[in-house]
């Protein structure tokens, strides 16, 4: 089995940034769910934030942060 090549530093930074974005989304979803389970209606309002991040901003964020060498 071949070992994976180490990505260029710019690509590595981009991947870490995308991963942080995704982790933030899932953390907000989990927090909202916990608040909803505590029967607090504010959890439904908080759940809008990660939904907007996921459905509205993720593709644009990843594309804009992508190094020019991998944009197409």
Q: Cα–Cα distance between 5 and 72 in angstroms, integer?
A: 21
Q: Can you give the pLDDT at residue 21?
A: 93
3, part of any domain = no
Kindly state whether residue 58 falls inside one of the protein's structural domains: yes
Residue 52's pLDDT is what?
Answer: 92
Residue 53: both structure tokens together: 């991040």
- Would 50 be classed as within a structural domain? yes
Domain contains 72: no
Contact 1, 22 (CB under 8 A): no
Domain contains 6: no
Give per-residue pLDDT as tens, 15-65: 999 999 999 999 999 999 999 999 988 999 999 999 998 999 999 999 999
Predicted pLDDT of residue 5: 78
Range of the domain at 19: 13-67
What b/e string do you get for 9-40 counting C-beta neighbours within 10 Å, with b at 16 or more?
eeeeebeeeeeebeeebeebbeebeebeeeee
Answer yes or no: is 31 within a domain. yes
Number of domains into which the chain is organized: 1
């Amino acid at each position: 089995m071949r070992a994976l090549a180490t990505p260029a530093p710019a690509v590595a930074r981009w991947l870490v940034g995308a991963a942080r974005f995704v982790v933030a989304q899932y953390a907000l979803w989990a927090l909202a769910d916990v608040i909803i389970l505590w029967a607090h209606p504010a959890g439904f309002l908080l759940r809008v934030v990660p939904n907007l991040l996921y459905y509205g901003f993720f593709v644009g964020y990843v594309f804009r942060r992508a190094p020019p060498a991998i944009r197409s």
